[in-house]
Amino acid sequence: MRRGLAAMAVTVAVWAGFALSIRGIGASSLTTMDTALIRFVTPLLLLGPWIPRTLRRLRGERPVVLAGLCAGAGLPFFLVASAGGRLTSAGLVGLVIPGTVPIFVALLAYRMWGSRVGRAQVAALAAILAGVALAGGRPAGAGTVVLILAGSIWAVYTMSLRVTVLDPVGTVIVLCLPSALLSALLIGTGAAGSNLAAGTARMDDVLIYLAAQGVGAGVLAALCYPVAIRRLGSRTAASLGALSPVVTAVAAVPLLGEPLTGIPGFALVVAGVVAFNLLPARPEGTAPHAADPPPHHDRPAVAADRGLRR
């Protein structure tokens, strides 16, 4: 229990750090592609010994699942989330992206497996939508729309995690490898600007993003969240994860000088996410819940206890 709570605390802190650092790119000496390179190269360096094993296991994975992993949490997601961060605030980055994921997961689960949610879960999803609208403003600004798009992309990653044959370390390597190569290619060819390549990036900024994005979001969250799920259960872990937007918004006040606004919207989103995850997964008389495993599928979900075996 204690290990699960500790793993979840690290995960929430890392998620908040991701949102804060995404918002802070514009104020740093790094370009977006610089931060992407740091984000995806660092895990490969730290998990290098497990790369050969992961590459061997790719023969048992379906191309569509690999594409979902790479796009859903790789460079495409990172660029969209970064664009939303430039147009909004750290609080909204931490709220809208994870907050809208349950909505898109429910839609994808219905489309792919025919999974449905009960009336209570629909009400919870409606609360999330209302909270995003309140926090993002009416009508929703362009930045909020971009963050919602990022949430939909992350939902693809979430669904891919449910059916992949790879363990947590393998998924990190798979999503980082093509993103790191593409980031390096764009910088090397001059297609994307880079202060790292120009030698004008400040070392303190490099270290901050190395910690927040490379080690934190790239490795710690990917390893700690499965541990939290195994120790606490998926619903409890997902509900505790709803604290991340609150931590982000509060931390953004002293760190980035952002005002603490949109509290009713934050409250609705957090309440909606918690309710969606804690309400019964399979209400009497309804079809399977969107959070349930896909029916008649022989591929295992992510195994939290196999993360560091070679």
Q: What is the pLDDT of residue 281?
A: 55
Separation of alpha carbons 157 and 199, rounded Å: 34
Q: Where are the alpha helices (DSSP H) in the chain?
A: 2-23, 32-46, 51-57, 63-73, 75-87, 90-113, 119-136, 142-163, 168-188, 195-198, 203-209, 221-232, 234-241, 244-256, 263-278
Chain centroid to Cα 274, Å, comes to 17
Query: How many Cα atoms occupy the beta-carbon half-sphere of 88 within 13 Å?
Result: 33
Q: In tens digits, what is the pLDDT along the chain, a chain of 310 residues?
A: 788 899 999 999 999 999 999 999 999 999 999 999 999 999 999 999 999 999 999 988 999 999 999 999 999 999 999 999 999 999 999 999 999 999 998 899 888 888 888 888 999 999 999 999 888 765 558 899 999 999 999 999 989 988 899 999 999 999 999 999 999 999 999 999 999 999 999 999 999 999 999 999 999 988 898 888 888 887 788 888 888 999 999 999 999 999 888 889 899 999 999 998 887 655 433 334 444 444 444 333 333 333 333 3
Q: What is the pLDDT of residue 288?
A: 40
Reported pTM: 0.86
Q: What is the pLDDT of residue 250?
A: 92
Q: What is the pLDDT of residue 137?
A: 64
